[in-house]
Every structure is written in structure tokens, then in C-alpha cells.
Amino acid sequence: MISTSYPRDAEDWRARFVSDLVCAMAKKDQVQLYLWAPPGDMPSAVRNSLTNDESIWLANLTDRGGIAHVLRTEGIRGLFIAVKLLFKLRKVYLRHKNDADIIHVNWMQNALALWRIPKPAVISVLGSDYGLLRLPGMIPLLRKVIRQRRCILAPNADWMVEKLKKHFGDIAEIRCIPFGIKDMWFDMQRNQLSQEIRKWIVVSRVTKKKIGPLFSWGEINFRDKDELHLFGPMQEQMTIPDWVHHHGPTNPAELHDKWFPDATGLITLSEHDEGRPQVMLEAMAAKLPIIASDIAAHRNMIEHRQTGWITKTREDFQDGLGWLTDSNNNKSVGLAASEWARKYVGTWDGCAERYLAAYEKLIGIEK
């Protein structure tokens, strides 16, 4: 399994979903998993595929914000680092070409280094990959790599399937494999809503696209009445208003134990290329209502006024804040969201079963 992002420890916010997936796959007796990812905690059953030089290089890349951040912010130097990453990936693929039955690639760009290494591959497709597909020449290049092997493209949300089938459906199977949700989120108990101070939560990297219109839409509500608590690293130079309580990066345990139980709801007005944001799934499982921007990823998760609130305008946003302060609306939406998350997403053990079925299909032992 290949991933260019991985949490260093339990308090690291980066790519928690990869760690959760690795832990779930490690339980499968049918799988011997080799992991090539930035250094971090991993189950004893998983074998570390990093050389010492690769470990140092990936740790430095992580400290700089990861490859996506480097590409966004470092111009030509960022492109040079991306090319260097592909060369390192190619060495990894060549190193395992005789002992691996399947290569599991997280993020489509990491598959480019598989050129002329005809190993079966499962490629997890995330929302950021859609930005990649808009780059000139990227789709033809990916097609040349994908058609060299038996391949399953595995988007983690079904709204991505149609576009992937259009571009790659003739040369690969497109199989939606949703990521899972930890049991602790389904088991979380929310406290009674405060009628005096209502706390709304935003969990997001701080960039213009991820924040969207939040700061311009929210002042009327959060300067003098409700509280807005923002969690996430500053990854672009932005001025955070003085009425926003910015706490910096967080981790699942802190959100679960301290913030989600007393919150009124989660807000995301992202205009970014989202796939199926993990923090939204966790909030839904925890019965915490969500107000979300009107983008494909959010519409795929939330039914307006049933499992959350979709907002298109400032007025919609104000209406959603008011509607969800009603305790009856808040409770009913939270319960419906949790039921949807359990039915259509499920746990990480279920996700591991879905990936195991994909592996078995590729090596010809599909049940």
C-alpha cells in the first residue's frame, strides 16, 4: 500500500483515514500488508516498506505540509519535488514487483510511477484527484498507465463514479469503496443543547477554498451571539476574524471527548475539490448536524433538512443556523444522519471487507 500522507502519532491530524484503513486491513488473515508512507505508528502485523533514506525524505515532505501543499505553494520547486516523489515511488514499485500480488495506491497521481510494471492495482480515488484530472494531458497519461494492468479504480464516494467511467471505464473496473467510520463516533453521547451559548465547530485546513465564504457570512451570527470554533492548520496566508476561536490542528480524540458532545453543529462551506470528507462522516455518526455548502460531495452525503442543511447563499446559511438551534430539529437531523452513516458507510471493518473483495477479484479468487 502506497500513501504520501500518514499521521505521525495519535495526535497528528494528517490522513487519519489511511491509518484507520491500515489498522483494519491488518486484521485480515488473508492479507500481508507492506506499507510505504511517511513514518508513523502502525500495527505490528504491517511491514514497513521504507528505506531509511525514504523515511527521512517523506518525513521532511510531511513537515513542509505534504505534496499537495508543496505543489500549491512552491511553484517550480514544487514541481521538482513532485517529480522526485514519482522517481522514489518507481523504485518502491520495482522493489516489490516480484513479491507483491497487488499494489494498493492511494491518490491517482501516485499510480503514474507504475509505468510498465504490470502488477494488478487498486487505486483509491479521492476528491483532490479531480483537480488532477483537469490538468492538460493527465487523463491520457493515466490511461496509458492503467491499461497496462488489471485495475480497479475505487472512489470513496459514488458521485465520482460517472466521471471515472467516462474516462477509464473501458480499461478498468470502477468500484465505489466507501471508507469506514470508527465505532466510537456511533457510540458518542451528545449533551443537551445550551440555550445561552451555542458552539459551532469547523474542522478544516485554513485555505481560501476550504474556508469558502464562512468569514463573510458568519460575522452577523458569531460576533455577538453564537461561538465559532475553528480547528485546523493555517496553510495559506489568511486573516482570521477576531470573532473566530482558532485552535490550530486537532485530532479525533480531542473532538470526540471535548468538542463534539457540546456542539450545536458542524459547519463546512468548502469550495475545494472534496471527495467524502471524513470529519463529516464522523460528525454524522456522532449525531452532530451539519451545515454544508452546495457542492457535489456534500449533496451526496446530506439530504437537505433530513440529514443536514445544504446552503447556497448567505440567507440560506442564516436560516440553517436558526433552524438547527431548535432542539427538536437538531435531534431529529442528528439521528437521521447517524442512521444514514451506519447504513451507507459503516465501520472500518466493513471497509476492509470491501477492499479485500477487490483484491480477490484482481487475483482471480472472487467469491
Query: What is residue 237's predicted lDDT score, i.e. its pLDDT?
Result: 87
Distance (Å) of CA 207 to CA 234, 238, 272: 7, 7, 9
- pLDDT tens by residue, 11-20: 888 889 999 9
259 versus 71: which is more confidently predicted?
A: 259
For helices 314-324 and 327-344, angle between their N-to-C axes, nearest 10 degrees = 100
The pLDDT of 29-41, averaged and rounded, is 95
Query: What is residue 349's predicted lDDT score, i.e. its pLDDT?
Result: 96
The pLDDT of 275-294, averaged and rounded, is 95
Q: Is the per-residue pLDDT at 367 higher than 60?
A: no
Q: What is the largest CA-CA distance in the chain?
A: 64
Estimate to the nearest angstrom the gap between the alpha carbon of 195 and the chain centroid. 33
Residues making up the chain, counted from first to last: 367
Nearest Cα neighbor of 228 from 216, 237, 219 is 219
What share of the chain has pLDDT > 70, as a percent?
A: 99
Query: What is residue 192's predicted lDDT score, i.e. its pLDDT?
Result: 83
Query: What is residue 70's predicted lDDT score, i.e. its pLDDT?
Result: 86
pLDDT band at 274 (very low <50, low <70, confident <90, very high): confident
The pLDDT of 198-222, averaged and rounded, is 94
pLDDT band at 56 (very low <50, low <70, confident <90, very high): very high
pLDDT band at 301 (very low <50, low <70, confident <90, very high): very high
Query: What is residue 201's predicted lDDT score, i.e. its pLDDT?
Result: 97
pLDDT winner (highest mean) among 135-139, 181-185, 223-227: 181-185
- pLDDT tens by residue, 140-199: 999 999 999 999 999 999 999 999 999 999 999 999 999 999 999 999 999 988 777 899
The pLDDT of 99-111, averaged and rounded, is 94
Query: What is residue 133's predicted lDDT score, i.e. its pLDDT?
Result: 86
User: What mean pLDDT, rounded, does the chain reach?
Assistant: 93
Phi, psi of 264 (to 5 degrees): -80, -35
Question: Which grid coordinates belong to 320?
Answer: 440553517
- pLDDT tens by residue, 334-349: 999 999 999 999 999 9
Question: Which grid coordinates belong to 91?
Answer: 523504485
H helix runs in the chain, sequence order: 16-26, 52-63, 67-73, 75-95, 128-133, 138-146, 161-168, 183-187, 208-211, 214-222, 252-254, 278-285, 296-301, 314-324, 327-344, 348-362
- pLDDT tens by residue, 90-102: 999 999 999 999 9
Q: Is the per-residue pLDDT at 130 higher than 80?
A: no
Query: What is residue 366's predicted lDDT score, i.e. its pLDDT?
Result: 57
Determine contact, residues 276/179, Cβ cutoff 8 Å: yes
